[in-house]
């Protein structure tokens, strides 16, 4: 069980917090949250199964403060306002500083610290302030990282104001795309107008992939496996070689690209974008950290498709700004094939992510998906299901591929009530 302890002066937030816990429990988005009021502390105290944090709103430190809150949230603003560039430098220098609702032209901006840099979201409507605070605290208590908690908070503030929620028991969790903010990146159409300092250069949308070939999406660690998978009739796969020092790295990429071209299949190369361009690969798959270092313009101009990994709300919004060929959603279940900085998302969070993205970009679920879990993952509406160990560690990979394809086909037929001739899995 998680705990959320409010100081006495924030008791009015209870009327907003308690209704949010109903859909959180219904959607099974995290452990049960026990809410209490603590008169002995001026900060919000949050404890989950994996972490503890404290939150203070508009906190003013004094000389004898020896312990500071984890997050100092500033959400009340009076003119004159600092330039956005100045605020970025302040947030970079102070890991605890979180700026919410900073007034900008035609909207507001939320800014926070992330690994030595600043991240931000922009919304044309700030929404209701108390609803924003409440969702921020609830999301943190549900073990969402700060990035995602801020996204949910801004979406809920907008949704609350738009819909004027008053009905008891009404589900008020934000789910529709129109209430969510946008990640402030170099590709944001108003980034220069807002004065946000971003790295890199804007990039045009990436080429579309063939949806009819996306469904079962094996991720394998060698070119030999790529060839083997394609011979089994798979039409989309990814070569993921973790060690960049692998002696035959380039030859493996060349071999995988050639195999994909011969089979008229969609073969994505993980990480090694320069080699993928050199050998005219079909596509490249990048992680979030790679978006800061890869030459996205070169990838786009070379005509390669782009897939981007995401692990929650903020990263989804960030990926959408680049208009990739698909977005990977993960990791859904615990996995041993890759060290993950985030917690498993679970099927219920996956379903909400899919609803947010809708049909804007194809999606691929990944992480710990096996034969037993494939059907319920597929039912969330994702476009593809990525598997690793379910095939590469199977006693009979051919049988595993056949069974997984049958599961996806059967699920589509059951949902549609008929055949699915437009899907090739």
Contacts 24+ apart (CB under 8 A), 302-309: 302/277, 303/207, 304/206, 304/207, 304/273, 304/276, 304/277, 305/206, 305/207, 305/208, 305/209, 305/266, 305/268, 306/206, 307/238, 307/268, 307/283, 307/364, 309/285, 309/366
The three-point CA angle 209-214-218 to 5° equals 115
Using an 8 Å Cβ cutoff, are 218 and 386 in contact?
yes
Does residue 74 have an active-site annotation?
no
Catalytic residue (choose from 2, 5, 96, 309): 309
Catalytic residue (choose from 154, 240, 349, 405): 240
Distance from C-alpha of 380 to C-alpha of 369, rounded to nearest angstrom: 13
Does residue 2 have an active-site annotation?
no
Catalytic residue (choose from 338, 342, 379, 389): 338
Does residue 309 have an active-site annotation?
yes
Distance from C-alpha of 271 to C-alpha of 75, rounded to nearest angstrom: 39
Using an 8 Å Cβ cutoff, are 55 and 40 in contact?
no
Q: Residue 181: what are its φ and ψ, rounded to 5°?
A: -75, 180
Tell me which H or E stretch contains 129. Answer: helix 129-141
Enumerate the active-site residues: 240, 309, 338
């Amino acid at each position: 069980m998680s705990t959320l302890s409010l100081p006495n002066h924030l008791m009015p937030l209870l009327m907003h917090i308690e209704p949010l816990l109903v859909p959180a429990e219904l959607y099974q988005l995290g452990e049960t949250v026990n809410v209490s009021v603590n008169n002995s502390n001026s900060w919000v105290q949050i404890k989950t199964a994996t972490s503890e944090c404290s939150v203070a709103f508009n906190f003013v430190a004094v000389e004898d403060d020896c312990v500071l809150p984890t997050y100092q949230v500033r959400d009340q603003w009076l003119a004159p306002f600092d330039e956005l560039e100045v605020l970025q430098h302040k947030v970079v220098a102070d890991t605890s500083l979180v700026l919410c609702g900073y007034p900008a032209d035609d909207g507001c901006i939320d800014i926070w610290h992330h690994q030595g840099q600043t991240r931000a979201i922009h919304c044309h409507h700030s929404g209701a302030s108390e609803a924003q605070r409440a969702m921020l605290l609830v999301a943190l208590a549900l073990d969402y990282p700060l990035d995602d908690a801020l996204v949910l908070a801004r979406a809920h503030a907008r949704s609350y104001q738009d819909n004027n929620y008053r009905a008891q028991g009404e589900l008020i969790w934000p789910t529709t795309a129109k209430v969510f903010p946008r990640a402030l990146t170099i590709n944001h159409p108003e980034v220069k107008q807002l004065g946000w300092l971003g790295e890199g250069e804007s990039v045009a949308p990436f080429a579309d992939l063939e949806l009819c070939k996306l469904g079962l999406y094996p991720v394998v660690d060698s070119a030999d496996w790529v060839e083997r998978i394609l011979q089994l009739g798979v039409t989309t796969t990814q070569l993921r070689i973790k060690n960049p020092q692998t002696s035959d790295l380039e030859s493996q990429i060349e071999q995988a690209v050639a195999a994909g071209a011969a089979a008229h299949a969609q073969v994505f190369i993980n990480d090694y974008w320069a080699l993928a361009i050199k050998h005219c690969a079909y596509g490249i798959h990048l992680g979030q950290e790679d978006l800061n270092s890869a030459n996205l313009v070169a990838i786009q101009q070379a005509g390669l498709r782009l897939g981007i990994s995401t692990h929650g709300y903020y990263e989804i919004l960030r990926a959408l700004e680049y208009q990739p060929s698909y977005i990977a959603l993960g990791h859904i279940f615990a996995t041993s094939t890759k060290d993950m900085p985030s917690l498993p998302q679970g099927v219920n969070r996956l379903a909400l992510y899919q609803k947010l993205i809708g049909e804007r970009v194809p999606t691929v679920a990944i992480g710990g998906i096996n034969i037993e879990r494939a059907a319920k993952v597929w039912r969330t509406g994702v476009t593809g299901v990525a598997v690793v160990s379910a095939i590469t560690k199977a006693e009979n990979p051919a049988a595993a591929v056949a069974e997984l394809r049958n599961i996806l086909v059967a699920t589509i037929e059951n949902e549609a009530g008929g055949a699915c001739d437009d899907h090739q899995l």
